[in-house]
Amino acid sequence: MRFRHPDGSTVHLSYCSNVHAAEDLDGVVDQLATWSAPIRERLGWSLLGVGLWLADDVARALDADPTARRRLRGAIDEAGCEVVTLNGFPYAGFHDEVVKHRVYEPDWCHADRLEHTVRLAHVLVDLLPDDVEVGSISTLPLGWRTAFDDDATRRGRAALDRAGEELAELAAATGRRVALAVEPEPGCRIEEAGQLADVLAGADADHLGACLDLCHLAVQFETAAEALGLLDPAGVAVHKAQVSAGLHLAAPATDHRAAAMSHADSPFLHQVRERASDGSLASADDLPEALGDGPGPGLPGVGDWRVHVHLPVHHDDAATTQADLVASLETLVGGDTCRVHHLDVETYTWHVLPEDRAGSDDDAHARIVDGIAAELAWTAARLVDLGLEPLDPAVDPAVDPR
C-alpha cells in the first residue's frame, strides 16, 4: 500500500510476515497465498505491502538460484502484493517453542550474520517492484548486551561497515539501493537512540542507518522526536519504522500482575522497564524476572511499566502504548518533510496472544486475517489523518476503523 506525502515522496505501508511460520521457499510461497492475499482481499485493496521475513535457509536458496527468485517474485505478484523491505533480525527458528535470547544469534560479531544480510540484499533487489529503486532490511542492534564489551562493539561496527560496502557495490551493479536499518531493542547493546547515534556516527548514511521500532521506543520511554534529536546530529538516517505497540501498565504496577502474567509463558522475551518519579528506569530482562518469579526481588512496582509485548496496534485500551505510536507517526511522517518511507506493521505475536487481545474466533485463520487487516486499516487511517494521500483507488480514507 502506497501513500503520497505532502512533500511529494512515496511512503510504503506493509505488514511483516514474521507472524507466519515458514522456513523454506515452499512455505514462503504458500503463506503469500494463504495469508497475504486474503488480508488484501479483506481490506479490498488493490495492492498489499508485505515485509518479508526470510529465514537463512530460504535466503541461501534464493541467493543461489535465479529461478527460485523468479518463482517468489511471481508468487508476490499473483497475491497482489509488493515487497520493499525485509525483516533481517531473526536468523532462523522464530516460531520455535522457545525463542527468547536465541533471536539475537548470530550477532554482528559472527560472520554468519554479515553473510546472511548480504544474501538478503541480493534477493531483495530482485523482489523490488519495477518502479522502486530503494529497499530496506532491518537488523539486530549488534546483539544482546552481555556479549558486547568495547572490543566486540568495535568488531560489530566494522561488520556493519562491511555490509554497507557490500550494499554500495550492489547498488553500483544493479542501480538499486538497499539500506540496512539497525533496530534498537531493550536489553541489547544498542537499546536507545543515543547509543545507536554513538555506534553509527560517521557511517555511510545511504546504506546504513536506523530502524525505529515504535514499541521498542515506547518501552524505553523514548519518543520519536527525542530519537531524531539524537540521530540527526550524528548523521544517522532513518530508513524504516516498525509500526508496533507494547504493553503499558500504569502505576502502581503491582495492581496489574494478572495482565502481565497473561504474557509470561510466551516463547518470546518480554523486557520490562519501570519509570520512577525522577525519570530514571529500572530494568528486567523478562516478565518473570520483573514479577519477582525469577532471580532477584523483581521490579519495585511503584512506577509505570512498559513491556516489550507486541500488541495489535488498533486496540486503543489504556494498557497499550498506542498513544506513543500515534505521536511517533506524527513525528516521522506528519511534518512538512517525510522522515521515513518504509512503515512495516509488526505484530508477530498473533498466534500467542491471550484471548482478550487476539479475539475469540475459533477459526484461527479468519481471526488473524481479520486482525492484521484491521491493523493495516487503522494505520492507513492514521496516515490519512496526517495528510498523506492513499495511492490505491480502492482505499476510502473516509472509512475509519477506530
pLDDT in tens, 103-136: 999 999 999 999 999 999 999 999 999 999 999 9
Rounded to an integer, the average pLDDT of 194-221 is 98
Alpha-carbon gap, residue 396 to 383, rounded angstroms:
13
Q: Is the pLDDT of residue 155 over 50?
A: yes
pLDDT in tens, 161-174: 999 999 999 999 99
pLDDT in tens, 367-393: 999 999 999 999 999 999 999 999 987
Average per-residue pLDDT for the chain: 95
Question: What's the pLDDT at 254?
Answer: 67
Structural domain contains residue 283:
no
Q: Is the pLDDT of residue 145 over 60?
A: yes
* 69-78, 327-336, 344-353, 361-370, range with the lowest pLDDT: 361-370
Question: What's the pLDDT at 387?
Answer: 98
Question: What's the pLDDT at 44?
Answer: 96
Question: What's the pLDDT at 397?
Answer: 58
Question: What's the pLDDT at 317?
Answer: 86
Q: Is the pLDDT of residue 253 over 80?
A: no
Q: What are phi and psi of 308, to 5 degrees?
A: -75, 80
Q: Is the pLDDT of residue 399 over 60?
A: no
* 213-217, 236-240, 252-256, 293-297, range with the lowest pLDDT: 252-256
Q: Is the pLDDT of residue 17 over 50?
A: yes
Q: Sorting pLDDT into bands at 50, 70 and 90, what band is 400?
A: low
Please report, in angstroms and rounded to a whole number, the separation of the first and last CA atoms in the chain. Answer: 19
Q: Is the pLDDT of residue 66 over 70?
A: yes
Helix (H) or strand (E) holding 48: strand 48-51
Structural domain contains residue 258:
no
Question: What's the pLDDT at 31?
Answer: 97
Q: At what angle do helices 66-78 and 111-127 cross, to 10 degrees?
A: 60
Q: Sorting pLDDT into bands at 50, 70 and 90, what band is 402?
A: very low
Contact indicator for 125, 207 with CB cutoff of 8 Å: no
Structural domain contains residue 48:
yes
Q: What string of H, E and C letters represents the secondary structure of the chain?
A: CEEECCCCCEEEEEEEHHHCCCCCHHHHHHHHHHHHHHHHHHHCCCCEEEEECCCHHHHHHHHHCHHHHHHHHHHHHHCCEECCEEECCCCCCCCCCCCHHHHHCCCCCCHHHHHHHHHHHHHHHHHCCCCCCEEEEEECCCCEHHHCCHHHHHHHHHHHHHHHHHHHHHHHHHCCEEEEEECCCCCECCCCHHHHHHHHCCCCCCCEEEEEEHHHHHHCCCCHHHHHHHHCCCCCCEEEEEECEEEEECCCHHHHHHHHHCCCCCCCCCCEEEECCCCCEEEECCHHHHCCCCCCCCCCCCCEEEEEEEECCCCCCCCECHHHHHHHHHHHHCCCCCCCCEEEECCCCCCCCCHHHHCCCCCHHHHHHHHHHHHHHHHHHHHHHCCCEECCCCCCCCCCCC
Q: Is the peptide bond preceding residue 252 cis, with omega within 30 degrees of 0? A: yes
Percent share of the chain, pLDDT over 90: 88
Rounded to an integer, the average pLDDT of 208-229 is 98
Structural domain contains residue 151:
yes
Q: Is the pLDDT of residue 76 over 50?
A: yes
Number of independent structural domains in the chain: 1
Q: In what order do the strands lie in the sheet with 245-249?
A: 245-249, 304-311, 272-275, 281-284
Print the domain residue range for 373. Answer: 2-243+321-390
Q: Is the pLDDT of residue 178 over 60?
A: yes
Beta bridge pairs of residue 247? 307, 320
Contact indicator for 214, 243 with CB cutoff of 8 Å: yes
* CATH code assigned at 359: 3.20.20.150
Question: What's the pLDDT at 55?
Answer: 98
Rounded to an integer, the average pLDDT of 299-311 is 94
Contact indicator for 247, 79 with CB cutoff of 8 Å: no
Q: Is the pLDDT of residue 270 over 60?
A: yes
* 47-51, 54-58, 316-320, range with the lowest pLDDT: 316-320
Structural domain contains residue 203:
yes
Contact indicator for 243, 212 with CB cutoff of 8 Å: no
Structural domain contains residue 272:
no
Alpha-carbon gap, residue 97 to 2, rounded angstroms:
35
Rounded to an integer, the average pLDDT of 194-214 is 98
Structural domain contains residue 303:
no
Structural domain contains residue 382:
yes
